[in-house]
Amino acid sequence: MSEIHQSPKRPRQGNDKGCEPCIELDNPTQKSINRERVKICDLLLYDASEALSKQEIKYKGEKRVYNDKKCMFVWTEENYQRYRNLEITVGTELLQTNESVKANVTNYNKLNKDLGTALKNIAKQIKDVKAKFSEFKDFACKLDRCLKDKCNIAQVKALTGKSPGCEPETPIEECADAEAILHELVCLPEGLMMDIDSLFQSSHDVVGIQVFSNIDTLEPLQKTLETQSKDFEKQISEVMKLREGDMKKQQEDLVKSVQEITKAAMDRNNARSDFEGYLDAVDFLCCPDCECIPKNDDTGQQKDCDDCEPRLKDCEKCICNICEEVKKAFCCMPPEKPKDGKC
């Protein structure tokens, strides 16, 4: 706040050589002047001086209060802005992140359940296939026993051209691949059975891994994070609103303090103006600068006034000059000095 400056004190009226002791005449006019002089010197001037001192002290006090309230307002505003920025950035970002995490966890849980169901179905289907392969192996074993049975030597020889204890013959043309086919039918089920055992073991291992991955625990963790995030944001929001109320209260106090210090400055300037007015009046009454009042000459002897000469003509001119100065009080050009230079 820009401080309201008062105009500097005007110099006391009087001539350039200082006030000389005035000779007071013992007449009714002089006595009336003395009575008015006593009122101004003993009462009004001292009262004005005391009032000016009070206003100056009050202004200093109001200025100190204003500085303190300004600091309090600035500190409160900075504190409010700190919580406001935290709420806008961290608080809002945290809540939005929780919403995204919640949606992702829900999606992950659904995918995890679908995956678990699919893996269990695969394991069940592999188990069913294993049972079929077991039957296939049993048939292969029966076929192998039939091929090695002596009762079937003739049939085997007819199909393959070979038979234990017999010379090889050329097989029937339509059954040229019979030996290889019979060999595959006997050997292939054994290998397929070992493969299905591996698939069966792996499928159940994968189901176990999926179960023990325990992705379902993400949901309670997400809910805990969401609850704590909301509590954190709520705390920030409440403190921010509290600081906002404090800032408004400090602003109201600061505005009131500005009003008080402005009023104190104006009252001080008015008191100073009154004091200077009374001071000038005292100067004029105690040391009048008037040509008709007898003064001492260089030898110390009193000068005499010519009663035949006019004595108030110069006062009339001074008053007239004051009227001209008042007319130009609000103009940009400085007022012209009187041509006679007496006022």
Q: Count Cβ atoms below 10 Å from residue 229 Cβ, excluding itself.
A: 17
Task: Give the amino acid at 168.
Answer: P
Q: What is the pLDDT along the chain (343 residues), one digit of tens a residue?
A: 544 444 444 444 444 434 454 555 667 777 777 777 777 666 677 788 888 888 899 899 999 999 999 999 999 899 989 888 888 888 888 888 888 888 888 888 888 888 888 888 888 888 888 888 787 787 778 777 776 666 666 666 666 656 655 655 555 555 666 666 766 777 777 777 888 888 888 888 888 887 777 777 788 888 888 888 888 888 888 888 898 898 899 899 999 999 998 999 998 998 888 888 877 777 766 665 555 455 555 555 555 555 566 666 777 777 777 777 777 666 655 555 555 545 4
What one-character-per-residue DSSP string does 97-125 give?
HHHHHHHHHHHHHHHHHHHHHHHHHHHHH
Whole-angstrom Cα distance, residue 95 to residue 98? 5
Q: 283, exposed or middle or buried, with CB in 10 Å at 0-12, 13-18, 19+?
A: middle
Residues β-bridged to residue 280: none
Give the length of the chain: 343
pLDDT score at 336: 59
Whole-angstrom Cα distance, residue 176 to residue 172? 6
pLDDT score at 71: 93
Contacts of residue 77, Cβ cutoff 8 Å, sequence gap at least 6 = 247, 250
Q: 162, exposed or middle or buried, with CB in 10 Å at 0-12, 13-18, 19+?
A: middle
User: Where do we find the tokens 């001209």?
Assistant: 324
Whole-angstrom Cα distance, residue 72 to residue 85? 20
Q: 80, exposed or middle or buried, with CB in 10 Å at 0-12, 13-18, 19+?
A: buried
Whole-angstrom Cα distance, residue 304 to residue 290? 13
